[in-house]
Amino acid sequence: MSFTITLQSKNEIFTAREDETILAAALRSSHSFPYGCRNGACGSCKGKIISGNIQYGEIPLTGITEEEHETGFALFCQARPISDLIIEAREVAGVGDLAIRKLPSRVAKIEKLSHDVLRLFLKLPATERLQFLAGQYIDILLQNGKRRSFSLANAPYDDEFLELHIRHYDGGLFSEYAFHKMHEKSLLRIEGPLGTFFLREESDNPIIMVAGGTGFAPIKSIVEHLLGNSLKRIIYLYWGARGRQDLYLHELAKSWADQNKYIHYIPVLSEPGKDDQWQGRTGFVHNAVLSDFADLSGYEVYTCGPPPMVKAIQKTFVERGLAEDYIYSDSFEFAPHG
Ligand code: FES
């Protein structure tokens, strides 16, 4: 049994197979609906059911509020049609043209950037390059069908090596391997490019970027991409971390701002240690933005990092006037990133 789904804004139709989510059916039918976690947590896949009925499975849905649910919104990554539907959804321009591929890669270089962050440079076979949009991620394919997701930190044009920032988690399936066993020339299988967190280039609006921890990786890709394309957009880059050592590429971010009048770099520490001798901003990074901007209308926000930070931004920035459609986020759920 299958159901017909009509995309109201375009009057286009696609079909969902039995037990298929709206998102899975859309992606299969070349509709680039936005999504992030695909497990009901981040809210990126939210859209509206205009008519028809859906059902959810057992997974807890933390990415949608009761109020949104009652006003017809649904998480398309979890909602399965049980009748024909008419829906309203945003579509992502750009990623549909990029082929998602599985490729072998070799670890070309490993750098320790801090006590718990590694930078890996992966080299694809000589005849291969991975085309991606600044901000997207790849999956590293592990044994037994497991996978771990990591944002690409290099700009798309600078694609000789794929750069990843790996944070260490105790017991993390991939990070334990990366910190203790992996060496240069180790082989890794990857799949990508993935995700709908990428720079929207058709706009001139000023950008506020908010990175938490290794959420700096895709932000670095976006900034370097803009720099490589003669940056003309104003960027306020906020990077939140616990202590000074967690700002693992602080000098690089500072150099962007020192050399470019369009970039403003604001590092924010939540728990600076005495040894840090920190004289910069402190507290939660999203609060630093809120105290700097009385009105966020007219800005676009790109944010990547831990789910509580991303959720706080989605809520408080909209209350401060930011248009909901202008928040682009990538929420680091623990499981895919360990
Ligand atoms: S993609 Fe649906 S909630 Fe994250």
pLDDT above 90: residue 296: yes
Q: In sequence order, what DSSP letters do the residues of 12-72 get, joined into one string?
A: EEEEEPTT--HHHHHHHTT-----SSSSSSS-TTEEEEEES-EE--SS--TTS-HHHHHTT
Q: Are residues 238 and 333 in the same domain?
A: yes
pLDDT confidence of 335, banded at 50, 70, 90? very low
Ligand 1 mutation target, pool 27, 32, 45, most atoms within 8 A of CB = 45
Residue 201 located in a structural domain: no
**Residue from 27, 73, 75 to probe ligand 1 pocket by mutation (most atoms less than 8 Å from CB):** 75
Q: Is the per-residue pLDDT at 205 higher than 80?
A: yes
Closest by CA position to 264, among listed 284, 230, 239: 239
The pick from 32, 35, 90, 327 for probing ligand 1's pocket by mutation, whose C-beta has the most ligand atoms within 8 angstroms, reads 35
Kindly report the pTM of this predicted structure.
0.76
Structure tokens at 225: 């991409």
Q: Say yes or no: 219 and 327 in one domain.
A: yes
Looking up residue 62, the CATH number of its domain turns out to be 3.10.20.30
**Residue for token digits 């000789």?**
160
Same domain, 108 and 72: no
Same domain, 241 and 322: yes
Residue 114 lies in a domain: yes
The one-letter amino acid at 113: L
Residues 108 and 83 placed together within one structural domain of the fold: no
Q: Give residues with Cβ within 8 angstroms of 217, minimum separation 6.
A: 150, 151, 152, 153, 163, 164, 165, 304
The ligand 1 atom nearest the CA atom of 61:
3
CATH number for the domain harbouring residue 121: 2.40.30.10
Do 215 and 325 share a domain, yes or no? Answer: yes
**Which residue in this structure is represented by tokens 């949104």?**
68
Examine residue 226 and state whether it is found in any structural domain, yes or no.
yes
Q: Do 212 and 301 fall into the same domain?
A: yes
Q: pLDDT tens digit string along 174-193?
A: 999 999 999 999 999 999 99
- Shared domain check, 310 and 268: yes
Residue owning the nearest CA to atom 1 of ligand 1? 38
pLDDT tens, position by position, 32-91: 688 766 789 888 889 999 999 999 998 889 999 999 999 999 999 999 999 999 999 987
Which structural domain range is residue 66 located in? Answer: 3-88
Per-residue confidence (pLDDT) for residue 336, from 0 to 100: 44
Ligand 1 closest atom vs CA 78: 2
Number of folded domains in the chain?
A: 3
Q: Are residues 316 and 236 in the same domain?
A: yes
Task: Please give all residues whose beta carbon lies within 6 A of any atom in ligand 1, as ranges.
Answer: 35-38, 40-45, 63, 75, 77
* 331 part of a folded domain: yes
Are residues 21 and 81 both part of a single domain?
A: yes
For 301-325, what is each residue's pLDDT tens digit? 999 999 999 999 999 999 999 999 9
Last residue of a domain, one of 88, 115, 140: 88
For the chain, the distance separating the N- and C-terminal CA atoms, rounded to the nearest angstrom, is: 38
Nearest to 336, CA basis, from 244, 214, 243: 214
Rounded distance, CA 122 to CA 190, Å? Answer: 10
Together in a domain, 216 and 264 = yes
Asked if the model's pLDDT at residue 337 lies above 50, the reply is no
Instruction: Kindly state whether residues 114 and 218 are assigned to the same domain.
Output: no
The strand pairing partners of 269, in sequence order, are: 241, 282
